Structure 1
């Protein structure tokens, strides 16, 4: 069965701005012409970001942003749930009942599952998808093309789409671990198809063309983008909120390093020494006088610091200035305010953290990342349960994309069509409803 190349990544026949992957020729889009510009990498790869290093630059900033790291862990953990599980559907007169099944109940599926470390592979793909909203599973075929014998994750940051052909069709992706120093010889070319293409058509095409490995990108619906999706929660990295978060630790560090860290300012009148040493004070050399002053300051310092200073008193005599009649303190100790401990900019940082988590769709109480000093800093148990439930309720629209990997393999390998993959989650509950404080939820 002949299959030509081309389908939109977005789908939708009225959208003429999107890029599409291998499929049947679509006459509506046959006049689409790619914009060939000098920005193409090696003349044939679509750059990801202005510098073609958007994934690398974003990851560099991400690993310094504590709140985003915590938020991303929540997103990936919720998406993966308790891991990939098999369910089999049974139709009754009242409804369709789904029952969880052991992988070992299906020998062909079990052999594939264990051979490919399928759960780990899916976890890695989910991480790419949650970070970049695009992931690249690579399917490896048997020598005759009848079976998908393996699937693995190609690191999304290493992948670039090939420039569309004159019909606006993306035929391949390029995989390179160092796009900054692009070398065509070190770039692996892999055919790619769209998930909307019937699996039977892809299978027939791969047999005809001798293709033994390919990718079907797991990609979000494109809006105005032409190739790589724009991730909603990356907005905080572009609009300056992440810069606010990152600037505060650097500012605080510089303030601690540069500020004069003096706890006490000790004033000692020379009248004190004249009173203590009498006429001998006038006979001391300048060096001896300075030594006596230093000994006194050290003595006071030793008695002011540490736990042993708790509850101690220092007695200091008063003197009368003979010329003015004013009272003079022999020793006066003033505490120097520690301005670095006043919490400057912490509220700004908390506001920035809140903006970052809002873009990620995460309630701050799930990672104790709310407003500084506010109620939502940690949240009650009910807050956390409801926040987790709401987050999990929004997962199916994302999970249908990553679970499509199993559907493709199932159809290609002619496995039981009544079997489906799911990512069950744990829904927190109260002890009066469940002694374990949790229950399994399957979206």
Structure 2
């Protein structure tokens, strides 16, 4: 009996012997996604919740379908978010992606990973530019909580020839259907929310279900030669688009506070520069100096006052004014006979020197770092009066702890490579890892080592 490989949706089957595709319609189940796989002996596919209530061709990402664009605006207006998100990407990427075999385990239970060089794999890595794929994929995960790798097949569909990733901000799912594990397509455009599926600037790419037999589903799929294999960090209660955990800082109001402080201080600086002194001139001064003051035209009075102010500014402004004296003229009030000061000069209080709102800025920054799950000592000086970069020991411990808690993020980015391995017939014991640079104390001969264990800070440590 000839074996057939069934797609995860139960609508297609692939015959390895003849290389033919078979459309099954609804023969294997009443609802798409309910059928199992003869390759594994499963009686049914995993359940997939679908959110109802939307209409049209695109599943909206945010109410106006511009949520990623709004996130980018928030990032671009903050001094911490862009650099820390980039730092997280660089730190988790580490020494990049390598492949090899696990040949055993040491006494502590850590993998003994032996790197390999296989011609087919080397060619695939070069054609796909895997370093770029991995870095951009991590960047998408940390920014949006999801990533959209794209697999390219050969013309005869026997091999996957390249792996790339799309910018998550440019991707929108098609509208999911009831019982469907994933939408049929991802629509890719740089023009959301105005873009529409089918226009000349939008590309629609079929989607694979990453949760259920993607290799068999890809072999049976005849929709084209490129497919999106979606990745996402789980976000509770989100059926389609996931939400990066750091987005809580946008909704909490702390990001608004962090942005409001520099805007206020910018305005304060501008005002402090333009209003440094308050000069009060008594009305009697002008009549004392110019007996015909009341008869002078308004324009001439303005010119005279302007000339007097210009002389004052020459005396008070710039380095040339330092150390100069000011003559304070006293005249007699003709009405009362009392002496009065012709001029009164008051320096405007410099609020900037007092460090106004420094504490608020520091608190807002602390909330942002917490939302990003990054110890501030790892990326530089923490804003505020008590500025400090932290000790070397603090940095070492914080960095190793950071790396050790991001194994899942690395595994997620590597997941499509395992699909490629199985589809292309590479050795089934071939493993993929990120090289993780780990910080050591000064008494260790090597200032840092690279571990291919995917985030175990104790691996490869000296005994």
Whether TM-score is above 0.5 comes out as: yes
Q: Which residue of 2 aligns with 1:197?
A: 212
Q: How many residue pairs were aligned?
A: 417
Which residue of 177, 181, 199 maps to 2:194? 181
Change (3 A) 1:176 1:419: closer
Please report how far the alpha carbon of residue 235 of structure 1 lies from its aligned counterpart in structure 2 after TM superposition: 0.9
Please report how far the alpha carbon of residue 332 of structure 1 lies from its aligned counterpart in structure 2 after TM superposition: 5.0
Q: Which residue of 1 aligns with 2:401?
A: 390
Please report how far the alpha carbon of residue 72 of structure 1 lies from its aligned counterpart in structure 2 after TM superposition: 0.8
Change (3 A) 1:265 1:387: same
Q: Which residue of 1 aligns with 2:450?
A: 440
Please report how far the alpha carbon of residue 388 of structure 1 lies from its aligned counterpart in structure 2 after TM superposition: 1.8
State the alpha-carbon separation in 2 of the partners of residues 289 and 71 from structure 1. Answer: 59
- Is the 1:199–1:411 Cα contact (8 Å) retained in structure 2? no
State the alpha-carbon separation in 2 of the partners of residues 50 and 411 from structure 1. Answer: 39
**Structure 1 gap ranges (5+):** 8-18
1:3 aligns with 2:6: yes
Please report how far the alpha carbon of residue 182 of structure 1 lies from its aligned counterpart in structure 2 after TM superposition: 4.3
- Is the 2:186–2:228 Cα contact (8 Å) retained in structure 1? no
Task: Give a deviation string over 1:104-136, Cα, whole Å, max 9, x none.
Answer: x32211111112212112211221121112111
Q: Which residue of 1 aligns with 2:94?
A: 81
- Is the 1:88–1:419 Cα contact (8 Å) retained in structure 2? yes
- Is the 2:45–2:212 Cα contact (8 Å) retained in structure 1? no
Change (3 A) 1:234 1:323: closer
Q: Which has the higher helix share?
A: 1
1:262 aligns with 2:272: no
1:140 aligns with 2:155: no
- Is the 2:46–2:212 Cα contact (8 Å) retained in structure 1? no
Farther off after superposition, 359-368 or 162-171: 162-171
- Is the 1:163–1:170 Cα contact (8 Å) retained in structure 2? no
Task: Give a deviation string over 1:78-125, Cα, whole Å, max 9, x none.
Answer: 221122233443237967522345xxx322111111122121122112
- Is the 1:86–1:100 Cα contact (8 Å) retained in structure 2? yes
State the alpha-carbon separation in 1 of the partners of residues 130 and 287 from structure 2. Answer: 86
- Is the 1:6–1:170 Cα contact (8 Å) retained in structure 2? no
Which residue of 196, 211, 217 maps to 2:230? 217
State the alpha-carbon separation in 2 of the partners of residues 289 and 231 from structure 1. Answer: 65
Please report how far the alpha carbon of residue 200 of structure 1 lies from its aligned counterpart in structure 2 after TM superposition: 4.6
Task: Give a deviation string over 1:296-322, Cα, whole Å, max 9, x none.
Answer: 654443232222333344465778889
Which residue of 90, 93, 104 maps to 1:91? 104
Change (3 A) 1:408 1:269: same
Task: Give a deviation string over 1:336-394, Cα, whole Å, max 9, x none.
Answer: 2234554443432332222122111011223346352125x533333333222221111
State the alpha-carbon separation in 2 of the partners of residues 343 and 417 from structure 1. Answer: 62
State the alpha-carbon separation in 2 of the partners of residues 266 and 171 from structure 1. Answer: 71
Change (3 A) 1:66 1:200: same
- Is the 2:186–2:207 Cα contact (8 Å) retained in structure 1? no
Change (3 A) 1:131 1:258: same
State the alpha-carbon separation in 2 of the partners of residues 214 and 36 from structure 1. Answer: 25
**Structure 2 gap ranges (5+):** 11-31, 456-463
Farther off after superposition, 55-64 or 390-399: 55-64
1:228 aligns with 2:233: no
Please report how far the alpha carbon of residue 412 of structure 1 lies from its aligned counterpart in structure 2 after TM superposition: 2.1
1:427 aligns with 2:438: yes
Q: Which residue of 2 aligns with 1:110?
A: 122
Q: Which residue of 2 aligns with 1:404?
A: 415
Please report how far the alpha carbon of residue 401 of structure 1 lies from its aligned counterpart in structure 2 after TM superposition: 0.5
- The two structures have a TM-score, normalised by structure 1, of 0.78
State the alpha-carbon separation in 1 of the partners of residues 287 and 450 from structure 2. Answer: 83
Question: What value does the CA root-mean-square deviation take over the aligned residues?
Answer: 3.9
State the alpha-carbon separation in 2 of the partners of residues 87 and 115 from structure 1. Answer: 19
Higher normalized contact order (CA 8 Å, seq sep 6+, divided by chain length):
1
Where 2:6 maps in the other structure, the secondary structure is coil
- Is the 1:21–1:193 Cα contact (8 Å) retained in structure 2? no
1:360 aligns with 2:375: no
Where 1:403 maps in the other structure, the secondary structure is helix
Task: Give a deviation string over 1:171-212, Cα, whole Å, max 9, x none.
Answer: 522213134234332354333223343455235424xx4753
- Is the 1:85–1:100 Cα contact (8 Å) retained in structure 2? yes
